[in-house]
Amino acid sequence: MKRHRIQVVVVIFLASLIASAQDTRFQPTDQQIPAPDCLSVAVKDLWFPGSRLCGPNEHEAWLADITHWRDERRIRIGYDGSRYDRPEFKWTQSSFIQPQMMVHDRYFYDPVAGRYTVDRYLDDLDKRFGGIDSVLIWPTYPNMGIDNRNQHDLIRSMPGGVAGVRQMIADFHRRGVRVLFPMMMWDQGTRAPDRSWPEEIAALMAEVGADGINGDTQDGVPLAFSLAADKSGHPLVFEPEGGPSDEALAWNLMTWGQYQFPFTPLVDKYKWLEPRHMVNISDRWNREKTSDLQFAFFNGVGWESWEDIWGIWNGITPRDAEATRRVATLERAFAPFLVSRDWEPLALMLRYGVYASRWPLADQTLWTIVNRNEYDLDGDQMEVAPTPGTRYFDVYHGVELKPQPRGAERTVLSFSIEAKGYGAILATKVPDEKLQGLLSKMKQMTSAPLASYSHEWKFLPQQIVPIPPTAPVTATPDGMLKIPAADFDFDVAGIEVEGLNDMDVDVQYPWEDSPRRFHSHPLHIDSFYIDKYPVTNAQFKKFLDASHYHPKDDLNFLRDWKNGIFPDGWENRPVTWVSLEDARAYAAWAGKRLPHEWEWQYAAQGTDRRLYPWGNEWDASSVPAPDKSRTMRPPDAVDAHPKGASPFGVMDLVGNVWQWTEEFVDEHTRAGIIRGGNYYQPQGAIWYFPEVYKLTEHGKLLLMSPSMDRSGTLGFRCVVDAR
């Protein structure tokens, strides 16, 4: 029996070796292939006996090992790279710079003019860092889940609906930029799609004319999605966020690079398996992008130039922007080299901390080079084999190099490469006009070192949008309650899912010097009157009948109403599907205004710092029962839960519908602060818009346009200033 157990253990051990190791000493870790052992040595390790730097033999052995692994791996997975040959997908192989862009970016859409401003958005990127090749347009998280609109419904809710989105994409195409949208397979709590996921996505993307799909949180997008898109007659490129299986490389033509950044650059596994595969390195929260750009340039791949992270601005510094411009210019110019099947990563260089990839193409060769050191290097950098007629160009600096003999058997190229900088060398026998134009451009572009550009990261300051006071009144208006003047400790925190406590998360009140998540400030609040209940459907109907108000952007306006009439029995339910602009229009008609957030909180909380309007303990009987379905019932009547009254008698503050208060703006983003939470709770993911029932927390809803901002769980109440 014991002998049998030993045999079983041996068999399992051997099987695990066959399945994982594939007879390689450099097994990939996640998405990256390790460097040779000699390049993984830390500087301090050089002090110890037996430690040394790499020689030619180590590099050749490493390259032979990972090449053997690649050849065998492609056989094991039955690799078929024919999808990369298809003309409609060739754009991916030069899509080096791809931002993830929130649709709420004020450079992308002008809510005052009511139009997309694609040219303004692209002109800004051209000016700041040299432009982009594709764009991932993000209309969903973090707002998704405030009601039961699914990810496809939110695309259809963008300004102008499907027709508007289609024209917007055409505007990007006119500028040579490809367009992707996200796909969230975790979205299983909102409205169920009418067709299978592959069919639904293929049909919508064909309708709007998009080029591809990013698979959010996905380790590979299944083949069924590519096949469905092909069947629709509108093929799509799929770009998972995480690393797909090696087999899925055949149909996932792009991926994000979720990298580690040691001193020595590592080799991207997918790029090594298929040189035509495009990776965009994603490292959104890091405020310093040198490693992203250096690893991209070394691997011949691209970068996810992500600045607006769920409404939190992590802008590119001037130095990183200029480095992006230079790296992207070279990668675009030499894109055919960067898919070379003869790519040689970690080609030997002469200086410590300088790393290169060698990219042969026909009778020419390109080297992409990075200096990982914190100091400039000048002089001999690489050896070359003397070849009659071959000329060498430092294409980064835009000058020709003269090979220099070093003794009888060595020929070297000498050039400079600045600290944390870049280099590129081209060997060619026939420099053409195109090369001469590039040399002239790069010489001018690199005339100032990167070190001369600021590397200081700065947050975007925000401003609160003023709420003009009303004409003060002395008597309590009908349906309102008087809230007395008081000194109030305004303590509130934002509930964004991501961002931790970084500067620029949440909002910046007028008394703060930067945006932040946690806010605390003593205030004196003058007396005011507040609606006892949220505005109801019946009240809003009176406004419409009297004012004949109709918004210019009317998509989703009063979406539950039919022919200007709310459903039977809904007269005392809070009106929803109204934008911030709609609510302000009603308030102005009524001689009222929307409340400041601290007024709303004071009316709900009083001065004893309670957590809920009724006290400090949660009471489910004081609020509507939660709706966890995918269909979303209507809200309850505003007077259905009298136990939820605040110390001042204000009703229906928490748990029925969200309520509009403040608006904040910065250069790129608008956001509405909404209070009270709602009854709808989509299930199955942590990524849905978080509920906020505590009076010490608020929701931040990113704003784009009335069509997007309106929600089936968002209403409002008004206030009037007291004399």
Are 237 and 213 spatial neighbours (Cβ–Cβ below 8 Å)?
Answer: yes
Structure tokens at 550: 């109709």
How many CB atoms are closer than 10 A to CB 626?
15
Question: Is the residue at 511 inside a domain?
Answer: no
Token pair of 157 as six digits: 């809710």
Tell me the two tokens of residue 551. 């918004």
Nearest CA-CA partner of 470 in 611, 587, 617: 587
d(CA 476, CA 468): 20
Domain's final residue, options 395, 429, 448: 448
Q: What pLDDT does residue 407 have? A: 83
Range of the structural domain that residue 351 is part of: 340-448
On whether the CB atoms of residues 521 and 507 are closer than 8 A, the answer is no
Residue written as token pair 């003397």: 386
| DSSP states of 520-575 | EEEEEE--EEEESSPPBHHHHHHHHHHH----SS-TTTTTT-BTTBPPTT-TTSBP
Q: Is there a single domain that holds both residue 170 and residue 308?
A: yes
Q: Do 574 and 603 belong together in one domain? A: yes
Please count the CA atoms within 13 angstroms of the CA of 560 that sit on its side-chain side: 24
Rounded to whole angstroms, how far apart are CA atoms 619 and 673? Answer: 24
Instruction: Give the chain's domain count.
Output: 3
**Cβ–Cβ < 8 Å for 159, 707:** yes
User: What 3-state class would DSSP assign to 472?
Assistant: coil
Q: Which residues contact 95 (CB under 8 A, 6 or more apart)?
A: 133, 134, 178, 254, 278, 280, 302
Asked whether residue 209 is assigned to any structural domain, the reply reads: yes
Residues 108 and 136 grouped into a single domain: yes
Residue 140 sits in a domain whose CATH number is 3.20.20.80
What are the DSSP calls for 8-75, one per residue? HHHHHHHHHIIIIITT-SS--BTTEEPPPGGGS--GGGGGSTT-----HHHHHHHHHHHHHHHHHHHH
Tell the burial category of 166 from Cβ atoms under 10 Å away from its Cβ (0-12, 13-18, 19+). Answer: middle
Q: How many angstroms separate the CA atoms of 107 and 668, rounded? A: 6
With b for 16 or more beta-carbon neighbours within 10 A and e for fewer, the 498-535 pattern comes to ebeebbbbbbbbeeeeebbbebeeeeebeebbbbbbbb
In this structure, the answer to whether residues 358 and 321 fall within a common structural domain is no
Residue 598 lies in a domain: yes
Single out the residue in 321, 336, 351 at which a domain terminates. 336
Amino acid at 422: Y
CATH number at residue 429: 2.60.40.1180
Q: Could you tell me if residue 435 is inside a domain?
A: yes
Residue 539 lies in a domain: yes
Establish if 55 belongs to a structural domain: no
* Residue 2: predicted pLDDT: 45
Helix (H) or strand (E) holding 491: strand 486-494
In whole angstroms, give the CA distance from residue 561 to residue 710: 14
DSSP class of residue 149?
-
43 within domain boundaries: no
- Six token digits for residue 461: 């300051």
- The whole-number pLDDT of residue 453 equals 98
Q: Are residues 393 and 280 in the same domain?
A: no
What is 69-86 written as a DSSP string?
Answer: HHHHHHHHTT---GGGG-
Of 700, 572, 571, 712, nearest to 629 by C-alpha is: 712
Indicate if 377 and 286 belong to the same structural domain: no
According to DSSP, the β-strands at 100-102 and 134-138 are: parallel
- 220, 283: one domain: yes
CA distance 441 to 436: 9
Q: Give the pair of three-digit tokens for residue 60.
A: 């050749």
The pLDDT, as a whole number, for residue 46 is 58
- For residues 551 and 648, membership in a common domain is answered with yes
Residue 379: Cβ within 10 Å count: 11
Q: Note whether residue 344 is domain-resident.
A: yes
In contact, 626 and 428? CB cutoff 8 Å: no
Residues 324, 347 within the same domain: no
CB neighbours of residue 35 within 10 Å: 22
Claim to verify: residue 140 and residue 195 sit in the same structural domain: yes
According to DSSP H, which parts of 594-692 are helical?
Answer: 597-605
- Together in a domain, 110 and 259: yes
Given 401, 421, 448, the domain boundary residue is: 448
The tokens describing 323, both together, are 């480095």
Shared domain for 356 and 215, answered yes or no, is no
**If you search the block for the tokens 């002109």, which residue do you land on?**
123
Among the listed residues 143, 150, 140, 158, the one whose alpha carbon sits nearest the alpha carbon of residue 200 = 150
Distance CA 415, CA 401 (A): 8
- The pLDDT of residue 8: 44
Report, as ranges of residue numbers, the positions in the chain whose pLDDT lies below 70: 1-22, 41-53
